[in-house]
Amino acid sequence: MGRTVLLASVLLVFAAVFLVVVAIFLLGRRPKTALDERLESLSRREIPGRRQPASLIREGEKRGFGRFLGVLSGVFPESFLGEDVRLRLVRAGHSWRETLPILVGFRFLGAVVVGATAVVLGFRYLGAAPQVLLIGAAALVAGFLLPDFILWIRIGKRQEEIVLGLPDALDLMVICVEAGLGLNAAIHRVGTEIEHVCPPLSKELRMVNREMLAGSSRSDALQNLALRTGIEDIKALVAILIQTERLGTSVAKSLRIHADNLRVRRRHRAEERARKVAVKLVFPLILFIFPTLLLVILGPGMIQLIRALSEAQ
């Protein structure tokens, strides 16, 4: 009976904290002015013969769970996530304006759900209040950091895909430049051609082209590319292109040399991974295969030894 009351108390505390946070947000929310309503109506209005921007469509279609996550994200400032949260979201291939509320919401929900689950299971199987509270605190932190862990995995996979597709993209860019295209046109053409081969790199190259069309200089657009990806090979490529532009040297020759270097690096990475396989196989061999072999080999001998000792007594 005491455990049931304590469990109900913990659940009520979690529910009360959640409702208080939501209430603080709703009470502190600024009411819409006439200007806000006018801007909202203009953003949602469909113009005949003109396609509505996808960002406005997604913003207007936020319902249910997405709107709930948006409410949670409004409670916490952006510093609650860290200074580089926007950069990490961009490097994962997402728009930070749309995914920042989702990340905040999943952090909060993950902490509450995982923490509450750990407390419930702790009272169910352990019963000791200090141990359960310690486990609940650890689960709270784990649930809070779980979205960041998933985000880091996504960033690593995307960066690896860009690194693998970069040498082939540079070869295609060399062909475009030698065929007479300028560097800006070559970047746009390569970004279009590799869309189905390496979508992340295609997206980044097209973003560079859009920034240059919007008025940014080529060096600024390339530096933004290096910042968005966070890949050393991209940073080296950007440095070569900026230096080539300043010194007036051959773009095609510089790209060809850099593409050869990247191809050598890719082969070295593959060889390094192949050599690491033997080391990684040691742990499965020790944990799973060796004990089985020892049991099969030494088992009959141990049985005979036990029988001999028992008969000798």
Q: Angle at the Cα of 111 (from 21 to 73), degrees rounded to 5?
A: 45
Local structure of residue 181 (DSSP, 8 states): -
- Whether residue 240 is contained in a domain is answered as yes
Rounded CA separation 280/130 (Å): 39
pLDDT score of 252: 85
Q: Angle at the Cα of 102 (from 235 to 23), degrees rounded to 5?
A: 140
130-140 residue pLDDT tens: 777 788 888 88
User: Residue 266's Cα: distance from chain center in Å?
Assistant: 23
- Domain co-membership, 113 together with 183: no
- Domain co-membership, 194 together with 148: no
pLDDT score of 72: 56
For residue 239, what are its two tokens? 């440095």
- Domain co-membership, 142 together with 77: yes
97-107 residue pLDDT tens: 777 777 777 78
Collect all residues with Cβ–Cβ distance below 8 Å to 82 and sequence separation of at least 6: none
Counted domains in the chain: 2
pLDDT score of 164: 87
Residue range(s) defining the domain that contains residue 43: 2-155
pLDDT score of 277: 86
182-235 residue pLDDT tens: 888 888 899 888 888 888 999 899 999 888 888 888 888 888 898 888 888 888
Q: Which residues of the chain, if any, have pLDDT below 50?
A: 27-28, 43-64
- Whether residue 257 is contained in a domain is answered as yes
Collect all residues with Cβ–Cβ distance below 8 Å to 54 and sequence separation of at least 6: none
Residue that has been written with the tokens 């080296």 in this structure: 236
pLDDT score of 108: 79
pLDDT score of 76: 55
